Structure 1
Amino acid sequence: MPKGESFSGESTPLLSNSSSFEHETIGDHLKQPNSIDIDRSITCGDGTKTGKVEYEIFTASGKHVLDQPEEVSTGTTNTESLMHLLKCMIGTGVMGLPMAYKNGGLWMGLAVVSLMGVICTHCMHILVQSSNELSIRTKKTHLDYASVIENACDTRNDWMRNWSNSAKNLVNILLIVTQLGICCTYIVFVTDNIKQVLEQAGLVPIDSRIYVVIISVLLVPYVIVKQLKTLAPFSAFANVLNCIGFVLILVNLFQDLPDYTERPSVADIGTIPLFFAQALFAFEAIGMVLPLHMKMIDKPAFLGKAGVLNLGLTITIALYNAVGFYGFLKYGEDTQPSITLNLPNDEWLYLSVKIMFSVSVYITFALQFYVPMTILWPIIEHKAKATGRLLPTYAENVFRFLLVLLTCGLSALVPHLDLLIALIGAFAGTFLAIILPAVIELLTFQCSITVWIKNGFIIGIGLTGFATGTVTTIIEIIRTF
């Protein structure tokens, strides 16, 4: 931008003069170059370019090489990307939203969850836009979340360049904490629901921690599966179970609703930090946004007013508010940490819903477990090679077993779904979903005062939620035990 030209609420890319990519602007940021041009022009180690050799795919686990370029360019359709986005966004977090509404209040919950959805959607937009700009600037075709913040720092000409590796490590640590935390919530969710079903069937009540151990043992052979392709049929089956389950839950919620005046509009101020953390947990699929965008055939269709991202988040926010609002409206102070626990125990139709969601969550555990494994195991292998040690072939399976034991121990330590959700949402969710995307935009683009104020507001909300939510949740956990 010429000197002296004023900013008017825009964020301008700071492209280096050496960039050879043609580009055009859309709104505040650059439009990504044609995906075919990028995917078929790969720079090799000797400086030459070719469209027939290896493809470098950057994910949370680092760099992967594919040998079949024709298959890489096929990608996913808009509808397929929308289905993947919905599956990532709709998980155990939505089940706990009635409890979040209980901690926030009926109308405050509706307003804040809607506002939070808008902010998180905006943060996903600026994360993708920053990734597009950095792909142009660095000539790397695919960047994951950690690589985006690393390159945002590394391509600057100031002191922030020295923090690029630390920023990448921070994101990977937060991803590991989040994903292992989600795995813990899955174990607790299955424990609570299966325990309720079996006790209703006449089984003698036993401690929840015993169920945690049993379920963790059953997970061990399942998490040994290392290929996501092998898990695809199971994921499809889980989607079917989720659809049926949510229909039956909504049917139950819409029956015999009390008047809304019977529920508090705003809850006690002491529980509002818990509400913020529990609600934010539901929006923690931001780590999957970049991989979904990069796999699309028509990448420009991901963003935009009627794009895949906006459509998917609109559906998601509507479902979140429907389950949270009507769940708390119907059950009030009797609201449980998961809406499935409020379903009638004397009707096998609703008991089957608990079984369906338990099976679905059990199946999805391996997908959530995949992310921390693909981050941690390459580090272990690299360190082993650096010291000249050869790891036995079964070493990875042993490590997977130890990670399952870790999640088992954490689940047994805090066997309360609502508190686990709040702790993960406050500690890691605020950074991944709100704070870091705003920071990345400021690092990547030359921003106007308006954008600085906007991002400062977003970061302030995130830091406030992080501090109050984490402290309040820890205090509540201590009180519980």
Structure 2
Amino acid sequence: MEHDSKTPLLESSRKTSKLQTLGNIIVTVVGTGVLGLPFAFRVAGWVAGSLGVAIVGVSTYYCMLLLVCCRDKLASEKALGEGGTYGDLGYRSFGTLGRILTEFIILVAQCAGSIAYLVFIGQNLDSIFQSKEFSVTSYIFMLVPVEIGLSWIGSLSALAPFSIFADVCNVLAMGIVVKEDVQQALGDGFPLGQRTAITSNIRGLPFAAGMAVFCFEGFGMTLALENSMQDRSKFPKLLAQTFSGITLVYILFGLCGYMAFGEETKDIVTLNLPRNWSSLTVQVGLCLGLVFTFPIMLHPVNEIVEGKLKHVCRNNNDSTSLGNISIYVSRAIVVVLLAFIASFVPEFGVFASFVGSTLCAMLSFVLPAIFHLKIFGSSLRIWQKALDFFVLICGLLFAVYGTYSTVVGV
């Protein structure tokens, strides 16, 4: 899939600064899943939950670097342009079938994450206003015009200010949640010994792991984020620093939530908070943050869809203006379709774990390991091959068993 720099909605030549890239990484990774972490800690136990989040964070970072290495190698061999996508790696590794499979998984995974955003916003708006005239579905469709307008913003650099605003909203909201959690936990004497350290329910571990994987969403944005940075050589270090901070925050957030509410912890921790100004502020802040995060989550989806549209327009000799119009229309259609599907989504916690166990596991662990083994081949050292095979096998086993556990129920 090649990008046309003359088509601004497909790609922009503008590059992001280190600060802008930092904002985009945070807003891409941190989403609704973090609110399910206290519930995941309740299911797995606080020790198992903490270790699980740390392992998932390190593994995700490693696999992100694998993608960048694969793209750089192919680019150096002139087998791939600098703007290569995840789907391009699939094509260079396994041909057309590899591209189709890769892009299909990205499409469904990113759509699932976007749907989770819409469901969360709709449920929280319904909780805030408690209107008998409007349902969760009504609030979801009220967001459609706003999200369509935001989706028409063409580049990651242009979205950076919205990313930073969303980050501020998320940080403030999470800060208030932690404050409420700590107050609640301290009121009970911070009952560490009274909380489960490692669950005896074996099915609870993969369920919680699926939730943790879902928390590190936005994997399909890795190459776009790295390619958008002005000094791409600094991306690995920036990504490592950012992931270290996010992982630590995730562990503290899940731990505080579980300590505060114990076995009463709900799948969305904000539902445990008392109905007062601080909890309403949390809900509003998170909703605002996710509203502005939504178009970034859709970027990989639009990238794939618009690549196909561009190919069709080129074959039909359509004008550039007609191609741009089709892009605007396609982005609007994608938002409407996701809103429609979101109105039928089941319980948030089960949905998030299922997506994390299946799509996110394939996208975050299995495919990067396969691509790395295929593209580098015999040039890899023995320990590198062993590590890639370990990640690949663990990712497949986790996807199978995690899916089973989620479907059967914790």
For normalisation by structure 1, the TM-score amounts to 0.74
For 1:398-434, what per-residue CA distance to the aligned partner results, in whole angstroms no more than 9, with x for missing partners? 6545433432343232232112211211121111111
Using the TM superposition, give the Cα deviation of residue 301 of structure 1 relative to its aligned residue in structure 2, in angstroms.
1.9
Aligned counterpart for 2:41 among listed residues 86, 101, 106: 101
Aligned counterpart for 1:164 among listed residues 74, 95, 107: 95
Q: Secondary structure at the match of 2:267?
A: coil
Decide whether aligned partners of structure 1 residues 281 and 414 sit closer, same or farther in structure 2, where only a CA change above 3 A counts. Answer: same
Is 1:263 paired with 2:195? yes
- Looking at structure 1, the residues matched to 389 and 314 of structure 2 have their Cα atoms a distance apart, in angstroms, of 44
Is 1:133 paired with 2:73? yes
Aligned counterpart for 1:344 among listed residues 260, 271, 274: 274
Report matched runs for 1:28-427 at 5 Å: 62-66=2-6, 75-138=15-78, 140-151=81-92, 153=93, 163-199=94-130, 203-204=131-132, 210-224=135-149, 225-228=151-154, 233-257=161-185, 258-267=190-199, 268-303=201-236, 307-345=237-275, 347-380=276-309, 382-383=311-312, 399-427=330-358
The answer to which of 279-288 and 73-82 deviates more is 73-82
Task: State whether residues 98 and 325 of structure 1, in contact with CA within 8 Å, keep that contact through their aligned partners in structure 2.
Answer: yes
Q: Which residue of structure 1 aligns with residue 389 of structure 2?
A: 456
- Looking at structure 1, the residues matched to 324 and 73 of structure 2 have their Cα atoms a distance apart, in angstroms, of 41
The structure with the larger Rg is 1
Q: CA RMSD in A?
A: 3.0
Aligned residues: 395
- Looking at structure 1, the residues matched to 7 and 325 of structure 2 have their Cα atoms a distance apart, in angstroms, of 27
Partner amino acid, structure 1, of 2:19: T
Task: State whether residues 170 and 286 of structure 2, in contact with CA within 8 Å, keep that contact through their aligned partners in structure 1.
Answer: yes
More helix by share: 2
Q: Which residue of structure 1 aligns with residue 365 of structure 2?
A: 434
Decide whether aligned partners of structure 1 residues 475 and 402 sit closer, same or farther in structure 2, where only a CA change above 3 A counts. Answer: farther
Task: State whether residues 216 and 404 of structure 1, in contact with CA within 8 Å, keep that contact through their aligned partners in structure 2.
Answer: no
Task: State whether residues 253 and 327 of structure 1, in contact with CA within 8 Å, keep that contact through their aligned partners in structure 2.
Answer: yes
- Looking at structure 2, the residues matched to 129 and 115 of structure 1 have their Cα atoms a distance apart, in angstroms, of 21
Instruction: Show structure 1 runs of 5+ residues with no match.
Output: 1-57, 154-162
- Looking at structure 2, the residues matched to 118 and 102 of structure 1 have their Cα atoms a distance apart, in angstroms, of 22
Using the TM superposition, give the Cα deviation of residue 279 of structure 1 relative to its aligned residue in structure 2, in angstroms.
0.8
Q: Secondary structure at the match of 2:183?
A: coil
Q: Which residue of structure 2 aligns with residue 16 of structure 1?
A: none
Using the TM superposition, give the Cα deviation of residue 386 of structure 1 relative to its aligned residue in structure 2, in angstroms.
5.5
- Looking at structure 1, the residues matched to 331 and 115 of structure 2 have their Cα atoms a distance apart, in angstroms, of 15
For normalisation by structure 2, the TM-score amounts to 0.86
Partner amino acid, structure 2, of 1:195: D
Q: Which residue of structure 1 aligns with residue 400 of structure 2?
A: 467
Partner amino acid, structure 2, of 1:252: E
Structure with greater contact order relative to length (CA < 8 Å, sep ≥ 6): 2
Partner amino acid, structure 2, of 1:216: F
Partner amino acid, structure 2, of 1:214: Y
For 1:99-120, what per-residue CA distance to the aligned partner results, in whole angstroms no more than 9, with x for missing partners? 2222211111111111121111
More strand by share: 1
Instruction: Show structure 2 runs of 5+ residues with no match.
Output: none
The percent of aligned pairs where both chains have the same amino acid is: 24
Task: State whether residues 187 and 216 of structure 1, in contact with CA within 8 Å, keep that contact through their aligned partners in structure 2.
Answer: no
